[in-house]
Amino acid sequence: MGELEPDFSAFPFKPYSIQKDFMKSLYSFLNKGGVGMFESPTGTGKTLSIISSALQWVVDRKEQMKSETSRVLDNPKDQCVSDDEEPDWMKDFVLAKTNLDPDKNKKKDKKLGSGGKVLGEKKSCRDLFNDNEDVELGEKVKKKSDIKVELSEEEEFLVEEYESDDENGDGVRLKRKAGGNSSSDDDDEEDGLNVEEEEDLKVYFCSRTHSQLSQFVKELRRTVFSTQLNVVSLGSRKNMCINEEVLKLNNSARINERCLELQKNKNSNVSKVKVQADGGRIRRTKASAGCPMLRKHKLQKQFKTEASEQDALDIEDLVLLGNKIGTCPYYGSRKMTPAADLVVLPYQSLLFKSARESLGLKLKNSIIIIDEAHNLADSLTSMYDSRIFFSQLEKVHRHLELYFERFRNLLGAGNRRYIQTLMVLTRAFLKVLLGDKDSNLHSLGEKSSEQNVSDSSMAINDFLFLLDIDNINLVKLHHYIKESNIIHKVSGYGAKRVGLERGGDILNDSVSVVEGSTLSGFQAFVSILLSLTNNDGDGRIIISRRRHLNSVQKEDGFIKYVMLAGEKIFSEVVEQAHAVVLAGGTLQPIEETRKRLFPWLLPDKLHFFSCGHIVPPESILPIAVSHGPSSMSFDFSYSSRTSPNMIEELGRLLCNLVTVVPEGMVVFFSSYEYEAQVHDAWKNSGTLTRIMKKKRLFREPRSNVDVDAFLREYKETVINLSGNHPKEGPVSQNGALLLAVVGGKISEGINFSDGMGRCVVMVGLPYPSPSDVELLERVKHIEGLGYSNTSDTPKFGVSNKLANGDAAQAGFSVLKSCNRRGREYYENLCMKAVNQSIGRVIRHAKDYAAILLVDSRYASNPSQMSFSHSANKLPKWIKDRLVSSTQNYGEVHRQLHQFFKFNKGRCNQ
């Protein structure tokens, strides 16, 4: 079967040559499948190119499959003739179509994935649980038959009986009571929500942020595919929930829990009769009867119908539709997923296994497109990180104590052992955070105020041995937690007890707040326990002990698991999909990505495409600025950047630049703290006053809430203060100056096209802090990837414990100990951040801007650097035009003046 001739007529404009090349390369790659990386600079129409080629391929293949299915049905004998000519994935599709299950329609009501398979046995752990013994945490438990207890309304908190199987069993078994029900977090949440038949060929498009996904949908609407294909956008509950009572929680984890809790309670508004221990009876009715936004299934059907009749909708559109109809857009969009041709969703929903299973996403033979993939490896592993704070552990431990104290005489042997084991673990975690695992827990609280211990790291097995908990079977314990619903029972009872202690009669809302807070702590605790079941080499445990900085300021210690190995996680996606596309503006170096995500894939089997920019050479002026106006050499390295002389020289540079750069200008600093330090120094020296005579000053806000309004004001100011006759402000002012932060709110995904960004200034090289223990663990892990023999792996000459005063120096010692990969990874983090930031200003073919890289290291000889040269890692379209050497600032000023004069005249023609 030959390849179809691609037709890219869906592209809404006449494509540039690089866009044609991109589309042809992607279309050809999809024919073969596998893993491909597609690099196209920001502002080159990458999104439209992806849509016009990938979705065209889908349309063509669906037509081809229809004709192939018809041919096979009409001539069954011909099937054997064509089998050898067709790729495996095509055979799978044809067989699926020709061998239809006659009972398929009966499966439509089957629930979406319920959130995880039963975990396998962890053979290396010894089983703590013995059917004949309890963990000794106090006096012996009385026999249940010897006592009579009246539970009244507290019976709802009593966990159902469990018994432990042998070591080779599934861990725990629930003894269900007559008419009883037990479910995990995701059970029953799809009850009553009919699921449509699954489409065979599906495209998943995912990106990192909500705004990037919305932008994708807007671009999709410019093509015919928004009406030709079934499209659905998926988002988080926090972004899509329309239940005002739930949204008041204002926390993603608590919103998720409250939503699931409402789903569990939706059929519980029927009165139930409970026989008490003394033979009495009590009638109980649960207060909640499910979410009001899901009570009417016909409204969900209406939601699906109206959404399907419109062009592709983004998350905001779905929320508006849900509000109009009065039904949940989160579950409404999930219902539409099986029948969709294109699913638009955030990274985590696709790449996080439990989220994928909960949503019921089927990746078999699918096309997966991951946009903004420049930091995919780090983004992927960070999804599997887990952390619990000291304050959360204290609360979880206290609530377990309260629960066990109240119900211990009513619990079966299995439940007692598991709950006591949870208490053993919380106690051990608390002690290690306080710095002394052998001392009394309560006395350690006073001792910790004298300590100021820095972060430390260790392998999983070392952590288990340190806490003396290596004999606990964490796989069985996690299975118990999931099946028993114990965290909800303990959280609910603890919230009630806390409420009573606060004064007896408190509002239900107050109880809900306490319960939600405790539940979040329990979830963090369970996540840590699950992380400890990973292979020893997959990640590291970070221990940040409790610090008391002073009587007012306290820093909460924490235990964190950092996932380091991403190849196993990513392989689950690659093995199922027909093709995986990694797209981005700058994907270099591809070898690092290959080694971290798909090391089994030989370099020649990885499809890579890269193109230049659509802007002509005269529209961009990148300059490495090595000296300031007073001839001082710029050095913004870690040890020099805080120098008053260096900050003042930077100020003199800006005072000169604002006189020659028209309209908008963006200056990027390495951190919020450094930006604040520079701003305050300029304010005190009068530099800020001189700058503001020419441009109005803006500073990037730290809060996400303020970003949109902030950018609107900045844009309006640029427009109003630019041109020959400014509409407002001093006549001498010409545009605005924005102080921004690399890796902040506006360094990715925000466009500074045209006048909003005529010049971008990158101050120094924004290397990550060398004192970050998590970063150092990643560096050491990646350095080890370059060695096939573990005995050859470099030994890092630094202790796992990093003292406060020497943390940065210890970090540099680790970096200097690296031979290649680890150091290169550290450098790449810096340059990827630089490339993302400076790429904000060139957004289309007629745009123009200057890019100033302010640091002598941008112009230095690579052989003279302690770390490899940075300019070599700039995007090719910038590196090829870089003015890497200037004698003095006067030369820079002259080139800028000529550049803006030329382009202003060119645009006015």
Tell me the pLDDT tens digit for each residue of 70-119. 777 777 655 554 445 555 555 555 555 545 444 444 433 433 333 333 33
For the chain, state the CA radius of gyration.
Answer: 30
Residues 562 and 630 in one domain: no
* Tokens 């097995």, located at residue: 461
pLDDT given for residue 802 in this prediction: 47
pLDDT given for residue 53 in this prediction: 96
Contact present, 514 and 495 (Cβ < 8 Å):
yes
- Is 150 within a domain? no
Exposed e or buried b for every residue in 453-465, given b needs 16+ CB within 10 A? bbbebbebeebbe
Q: Using a pLDDT cut of 70, give the percent of the chain over it.
A: 74
> pLDDT tens, 164-206?
554 444 444 555 443 333 333 333 344 444 445 566 789 999 9
Contact present, 304 and 292 (Cβ < 8 Å):
no
Helix (H, G, I), strand (E, B) or coil at 894: helix
> Which CATH number do you get for residue 592?
3.40.50.300
Residues 625 and 760 in one domain: yes
Contact present, 620 and 843 (Cβ < 8 Å):
no
Pairing of strands 172-174, 162-164: antiparallel
- Is 139 within a domain? no
Give the residue among 584, 614, 668 at the shortest CA–CA distance from 43: 614
- What is the number of domains present in the chain? 3
- Is 802 within a domain? no
pLDDT given for residue 144 in this prediction: 45
Task: State how far the Cα of 190 lies from the Cα of 111, in Å rounded to an integer.
Answer: 6
- Is 695 within a domain? yes
Residues 552 and 590 in one domain: no
Backbone angles phi, psi at 469, to 5 degrees: -120, 20
Residues 216 and 356 in one domain: yes
Task: State how far the Cα of 845 lies from the Cα of 842, in Å rounded to an integer.
Answer: 8
Residues 349 and 489 in one domain: no
> pLDDT tens, 361-386?
999 999 999 999 988 999 999 999 99
- Is 891 within a domain? yes
Tally of CA atoms within 13 A in the half-sphere of 610 that contains its CB: 10
- Is 162 within a domain? no
Domain housing 896: 620-722+733-768+836-908
Residues 593 and 559 in one domain: no
Residues 478 and 559 in one domain: yes
Residues 656 and 671 in one domain: yes
What secondary structure does DSSP assign to 98-163, as a single string? HS--TTGGGGTTPPPP-S-PPPPP-TTSPP---TT----SSSPPPPGGG-----GGGGGGPPPPEE
Helix (H, G, I), strand (E, B) or coil at 41: coil
Contact present, 809 and 848 (Cβ < 8 Å):
no
Residues 486 and 364 in one domain: no
Residues 606 and 661 in one domain: no
- Strand extents, DSSP E, 678-829: 696-699, 736-741, 759-763
Residues 530 and 547 in one domain: yes
- Is 549 within a domain? yes
Contact present, 340 and 230 (Cβ < 8 Å):
yes
- Is 393 within a domain? yes
* pTM to 2 decimal places: 0.81
Residues 663 and 689 in one domain: yes
Residue segments in the chain with a per-residue pLDDT below the cut of 70: 1-5, 76-153, 163-199, 264-289, 436-454, 502-516, 546-555, 723-731, 749, 786-806, 860-868, 907-909
